[in-house]
């Protein structure tokens, strides 16, 4: 998992590459580098650490040249270091590569190359690719790259350049994402669209198993076995400023505040005026009778997306009366699950590139299940693998900790439940209209919740001196607790656990002592009293209790030390406003600790390796 860039055109390449890498840093940030060709020589500059180090290096000692490749790394093979940083070159220094992903047979290839006398300067799998391309090179970089990748196994994207053919870059996609941006007399390559959006809106998505030959005049796409490919250009309408911080100290806070807009986008065009019970999802086309005959829904995802899946389970089972299994994709892919043609698999992924989620999705398809993707990234691998598609439309999410993508996943799930419930006959027009009416209020409700940020900021101080935090809830509140807890641990680095409120007394209560923060989510009327009992149990151990509850809950202040209020919504929709205070809490605890919130240690935005 890394970010890769390429540029060919009339301008100086290095500043363009560094700028693109800055926008890709969310994919990894333990080292960075560029290789630039001045027409005769390739010059490589690379450094361990964040991109700023490379940038400083280039300021002091610039590399002239109008074509080049760049990389920001998240280590898989070989620790973060200067020598493991990309680009990697062949021993002659004439061929340079940047690579995202894993070469599974690199050890065998490396042994073969070593036996033939090659020497290596890094521990990476990527360096073997530079050697292979050099070995195959006979004056045509495209053909050499094609022959080299025929020997490599794995899931990766590769960008190659050579001083022997200045102004030419060749790139290959084997699963890991790659896009080409076409400008006027210049061409860009990148791992994703926001990296090059401010240069061009004409994007060509490179598909799996394709190779692209790039010069300043354009990009020619072929399958890896040499068949020409015609690909329509995607016209991207995102505002480039959307991908910038917009005045907030961190992308995460900006993205939390973008949630009302994101929810509006998710709903736009999908709820019909004059037909209060109808939802239209353009890319969801179940065959006639499919919804009625459905025997099971599988939901698969990782991390935050999995937590959105926990909400889906409650919502789908409640409204569709069908069993729902929620499975971590990294578990599901190695199980022998009872997925079959009667089932629908819903794969949820912000990026649409998470390797485990893709593998689980492929498995479900192989077993005959219909595959529906809930994803945020247009043109992502998951979106192009699925039978049905629901784009969440959260816009680019840059902070590693997911917020607006999560919320729009929830909204997408309600829309899906409405479509399926109506087709299945388990949701009558009145109930559907009530749910639609509730959905329409969500942007305002989220806005109102955000307006209470100062209260939550004040609360954050109470968490700072603690090493352990617990989040509890029942039903949908448990799903929200799981996500709140993940947010807390990933950016504040405070150990945090979530569990169903009733589970606490079966072990974890032993860890609750005087002052231990326990966050209780309390929006589900049917189990309210039961959760209050769990709250009492932790109170009895003198925990510091914070409850998330509705504005009109007059009971809760008698039980909890602090209450964070959210506007009243139907219980089914409560996860949408209830997650907001937990996102803000995690953010302000982490901010008070001075953490690198947008790029927490050891994490990366898109986990495209196993």
> Known catalytic residue: 37?
no
Q: Which two tokens stand for residue 121?
A: 């300067």
2 flagged as catalytic: yes
Adjacent-strand bridge partners of 202: 235
Min dist CB 13 to ligand F6R, Å, is 30
DSSP result, 290-308: HHHH--EEEEEE-HHHHHH
The closest of 153, 176, 170 to 24, measured between CA atoms, is 176
Residue whose CB is less far from ligand F6R, 211 or 519 = 519
Closest chain position to ligand F6R (CB) = 303
> Do 417 and 269 form a contact (C-beta atoms < 8 A)?
no
Residue carrying the six token digits 């300043």:
216
Q: Is the dihedral of CA 457, 461, 466, 467 positive or negative?
A: positive
The minimum distance between CB 581 and ligand F6R, in angstroms, equals: 16
Strand partners, 211: 172, 222
Mind spelling out the 3-state secondary structure of 520-561?
Answer: EEECCHHHHHHHHHHHHHHHHCCCEEEEEEECCCCCHHHCCC
**C-beta of 25 vs 277, nearer to ligand F6R:** 25
Closest CB to ligand F6R among 308 and 572? 308
Instruction: Report d(CA 184, CA 201) in Å as an integer.
Output: 11
Burial 259-295 (b: 16+ CB within 10 A, else e): bbbbbbbbbeebbeeeebbbbebeebebeeebbeebe
Q: Could you tell me the end-to-end alpha-carbon distance of the chain, in angstroms, rounded to an integer?
A: 10
Output the six-digit token pair for 516: 């231990």
Nearer to ligand F6R, 202 or 497 (CB): 497
Choosing from 110, 313, 404, 605, the catalytic residue is 605
Report the Cα 363 to chain-centroid distance in Å.
Answer: 21
Beta carbon of residue 329, minimum distance to ligand F6R (angstroms, whole number) = 8
Backbone angles phi and psi of 199, in degrees to 5 = -100, -40
Would you say 305 or 344 has its CB closer to ligand F6R? 305
Are the CB atoms for 222 and 210 separated by under 8 Å?
yes
Q: Binding residues for ligand F6R, per CB under 6 A?
A: 302-305, 349-351, 354, 357, 401-402, 486, 490, 606-607
Residue with tokens 């964070």: 564
Query: Which residue is listed with tokens 């629901």?
Result: 390
Of the pair 33, 575, the CB lying nearest ligand F6R is at: 575
Furthest CA-CA distance within the chain:
79
| Shortest Å, Cβ 409 to ligand F6R | 8
Residue pair 171/99 in contact (Cβ under 8 Å)? The answer is no
CA distance 513 to 579: 26
Least Å from the CB of residue 548 to ligand F6R: 19
Phi, psi of 89 (to 5 degrees): -120, 165
Query: Residues near 273 by Cβ (< 8 Å), separated by ≥ 6?
Result: none
Q: How far is the CB of 347 from ligand F6R (least distance, A)?
A: 9
Dihedral Cα 454, 456, 462, 467, nearest 10 deg: -130
Catalytic residue among 2, 37, 404, 539: 2
Report how far apart, in Å, the C-alpha atoms of 410 and of each of 125, 417, 418 are.
Answer: 39, 11, 13
CB of 584 to ligand F6R, least distance (A): 14
Q: How far is the CB of 470 from ligand F6R (least distance, A)?
A: 19
Question: Minimum CB separation from ligand F6R for residue 486, in Å?
Answer: 6
Helices 476-492 and 575-592 cross at an angle (nearest 10°) of: 20
**Closest C-alpha to 230, from 221, 239, 238:** 221
Give catalytic residue positions: 2, 605
């Amino acid at each position: 998992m890394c970010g890769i860039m390429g540029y060919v055109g009339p301008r100086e390449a290095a500043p363009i590459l560094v700028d693109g890498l800055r926008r890709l840093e969310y994919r990894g940030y333990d080292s960075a580098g560029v290789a630039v060709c001045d027409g005769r020589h390739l010059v490589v500059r690379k450094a361990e650490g964040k991109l700023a180090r490379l940038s400083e290096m280039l300021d002091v000692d610039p590399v002239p040249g109008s074509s080049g490749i760049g990389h920001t790394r998240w280590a898989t093979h070989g620790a973060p270091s200067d020598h493991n940083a990309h680009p990697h070159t062949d021993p002659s220094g004439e061929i340079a590569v940047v690579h995202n992903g894993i070469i599974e047979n690199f050890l065998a290839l490396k042994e073969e190359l070593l036996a033939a006398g090659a020497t290596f300067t890094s521990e990476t799998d990527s360096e073997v690719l530079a050697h292979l391309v050099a070995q195959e090179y006979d004056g045509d970089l495209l053909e050499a790259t094609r022959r080299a990748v025929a020997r490599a196994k794995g899931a990766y994207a590769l960008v190659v350049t050579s001083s022997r053919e200045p102004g030419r870059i060749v790139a290959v996609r084997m699963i890991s994402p790659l896009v080409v941006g076409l400008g006027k007399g210049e061409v860009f390559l990148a791992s994703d669209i926001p990296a090059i959006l401010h240069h061009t809106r004409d994007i060509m998505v490179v598909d799996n198993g394709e190779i692209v030959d790039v010069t300043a005049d354009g990009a020619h796409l072929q399958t890896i076995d040499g068949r020409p490919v015609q690909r329509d250009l995607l016209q991207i309408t995102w505002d480039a400023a959307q991908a910038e911080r917009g005045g907030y100290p961190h992308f995460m806070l900006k993205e939390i505040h973008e949630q009302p807009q994101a929810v509006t986008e998710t709903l736009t065009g999908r709820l019909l005026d004059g037909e209060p019970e109808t939802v239209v999802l353009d890319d969801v086309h179940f065959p006639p009778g499919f919804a009625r005959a459905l025997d099971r829904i599988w939901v698969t995802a990782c991390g935050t997306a999995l937590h959105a899946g926990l909400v889906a389970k409650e919502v789908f089972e409640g409204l569709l009366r069908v069993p729902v299994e929620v499975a971590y994709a990294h578990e599901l892919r190695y199980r022998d699950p009872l997925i079959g043609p009667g089932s629908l698999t819903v794969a949820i992924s912000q990026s649409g590139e998470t390797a485990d989620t893709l593998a689980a999705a492929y498995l479900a398809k192989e077993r005959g299940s219909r595959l529906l993707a809930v994803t945020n990234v247009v043109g992502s691998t998951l979106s192009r693998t699925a039978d049905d598609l629901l784009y969440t439309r959260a816009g680019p999410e840059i902070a590693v900790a997911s917020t607006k993508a999560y919320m729009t996943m929830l909204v997408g799930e309600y829309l899906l439940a409405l479509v399926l419930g109506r087709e299945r006959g388990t949701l009558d027009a009145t109930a559907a209209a009530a749910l639609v009416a509730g959905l329409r209020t969500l942007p305002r409700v989220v806005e109102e919740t955000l307006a209470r940020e100062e209260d939550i900021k004040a609360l954050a101080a109470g968490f700072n001196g603690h090493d352990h935090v617990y989040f509890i809830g029942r039903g949908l509140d448990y799903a929200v607790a799981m996500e709140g807890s993940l947010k807390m641990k990933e950016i504040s680095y405070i150990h945090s656990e979530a569990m169903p409120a009733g589970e606490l007394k079966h072990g974890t209560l032993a860890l609750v002592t005087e002052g231990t923060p326990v966050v209780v989510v309390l929006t589900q009327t049917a189990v309210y009293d039961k959760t209050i009992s769990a709250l009492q149990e932790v109170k009895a151990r003198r925990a510091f209790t914070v409850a998330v509850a509705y504005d009109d809950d007059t009971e809760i202040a008698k039980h909890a030390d602090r209450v964070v209020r959210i506007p009243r919504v139907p219980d089914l929709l409560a996860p949408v406003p209830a997650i907001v205070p937990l996102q803000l809490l995690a953010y302000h605890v982490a901010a008070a600790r001075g953490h690198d919130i947008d790029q927490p240690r050891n994490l990366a935005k898109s986990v495209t390796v196993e």
